[in-house]
Copies of this chain bind each other. A is one copy, B any other.
Amino acid sequence: MISSFKVPSIRDIVSSSNRIQQYIHKTPVLTSTSINELIGASLYFKCENYQKVGAFKIRGATNAILQLNDKEKTNGVVTHSSGNHGQAIALAAKWFNSKAYIIMPENSAKPKIEAIRGYGAEIIFCGPTQRDREVTVENLITKTNAHFIHPYDDDRIICGQATAAKEFMEEMPDLDYIIAPIGGGGLISGTILSAQYFNPKTKIIGVEPQEVDDAYQSLKAGVLQKNGTINTLADGLRASLSERTFSIIKNGIHEIITISEAEMIKAMRLVWERMKIIIEPSSATVMAAALKQKEKLKGKKIGLIITGGNVDLEALPFTTHSY
């Protein structure tokens, strides 16, 4: 299969940034002397855990919903996501008086269900498979004419997520690298495009848990691969790339680093203990990558995108003192 997507332009990203700016937080960039000493480099943490809904996902969701016409808004929007994208769509829909339908597996965690209901969205439960989700979405669209907003296979989402790196590089124009995690590829695609358009000297490194390394495998094979399992604590990174996000990654990524679950948990603990900030497992992957690659990163200026801070405090992975 040949992928030939029209990639979003610099103008698309600039207009997305202008469109959403007043609704989202300009998140802080934090540093830690002790972590810098540990890595031997200067690390800058772009803290999207302090973003609305506790994750960067509100950027793409707001960008998509603000481009709907009145009829589409009235019919409502639908997405399938038990995580941060679901919350983001629910909140953005509430802001702009649209109805949101969120398709979630029956076994979703209770706090996530409560959070989405708290934003006034209607939850429709489905079975556990990807096919269950798709059928439920299709049925709902048939019934309601709701407008579907995919979590990442959508240029409005990619352009929205791109604004995180744009904002980051405006504040820190001389980063050698930005490290960001790869799930379905919305954030990393946006990050790659923003670097190409606004700061081509900044190289983009992607990170995946070894258990869900479809992007790494796809790059190696040259064609899109799917994750065989979703066996990772990084619940934000279980999705597989689409042809759209793969084509952007293929053409723009500097490197993909894969990390183990143990490396991720160790990195999460390091950030919690040294920086006193709550980051979710998916975000800890970028710290893990910096620890793993410290020899190569020595003396560099490195931006880390901390994607979110939504964790289940009743199921934390800190059982042994691991470093």
Name A's B-contacting residues (CB within 8 A): 49-50, 54, 110-111, 269, 272-273, 276-279, 309, 313-314, 316, 318-321
Pairs across A and B, CB under 8 Å, 17 listed: A49-B276, A50-B276, A54-B276, A111-B321, A269-B313, A272-B278, A272-B313, A273-B313, A276-B278, A276-B279, A276-B309, A277-B278, A278-B278, A313-B318, A314-B318, A316-B316, A316-B318
Contacts of A278 in B (CB 8 A): 272, 276-278
**Interface majority SS (helix, strand, loop, mixed), chain A:** loop
Contacts of A110 in B (CB 8 A): 321
**Chain B nearest CB: distance from A125 CB in Å?**
20
In the assembly, what is the distance between CA of A188 and CA of B272, in Å?
27
10 closest A-B pairs by beta carbon, nearest first, are A276-B309, A313-B318, A276-B278, A49-B276, A314-B318, A272-B278, A278-B278, A269-B313, A54-B276, A50-B276
Counting every copy of the chain, the complex holds 2
Q: Are A319 and B314 in contact (CB under 8 A)?
A: yes
In the assembly, what is the distance between CA of A111 and CA of B322, in Å?
11
In the assembly, what is the distance between CA of A316 and CA of B312, in Å?
12
**Chain B nearest CB: distance from A277 CB in Å?**
6
Contacts of A319 in B (CB 8 A): 314
Contacts of A111 in B (CB 8 A): 321
In the assembly, what is the distance between CA of A277 and CA of B279, in Å?
9
Q: Nearest chain-B residue to A314 (Cβ)? A: B318
**Chain B nearest CB: distance from A88 CB in Å?**
16
In the assembly, what is the distance between CA of A223 and CA of B228, in Å?
69
In the complex, given contacts A269-B313, A273-B313, A314-B320, what are 8 additional A-B residue pairs having Cβ atoms less than 8 angstroms apart?
A272-B278, A272-B313, A276-B277, A276-B278, A277-B278, A313-B316, A314-B318, A316-B316
Contacts of A54 in B (CB 8 A): 276
**Chain B nearest CB: distance from A84 CB in Å?**
13
Q: Are A321 and B316 in contact (CB under 8 A)?
A: no
**Chain B nearest CB: distance from A180 CB in Å?**
19
Contacts of A273 in B (CB 8 A): 313
Contacts of A316 in B (CB 8 A): 313, 316, 318
In the assembly, what is the distance between CA of A314 and CA of B321, in Å?
7
**Chain B nearest CB: distance from A315 CB in Å?**
9
In the assembly, what is the distance between CA of A313 and CA of B319, in Å?
8
In the assembly, what is the distance between CA of A49 and CA of B273, in Å?
11
**Chain B nearest CB: distance from A272 CB in Å?**
6
**Chain B nearest CB: distance from A90 CB in Å?**
15
Q: Which of A111, A269, A273 has the most CB of B within 10 A?
A: A273
In the assembly, what is the distance between CA of A320 and CA of B269, in Å?
22
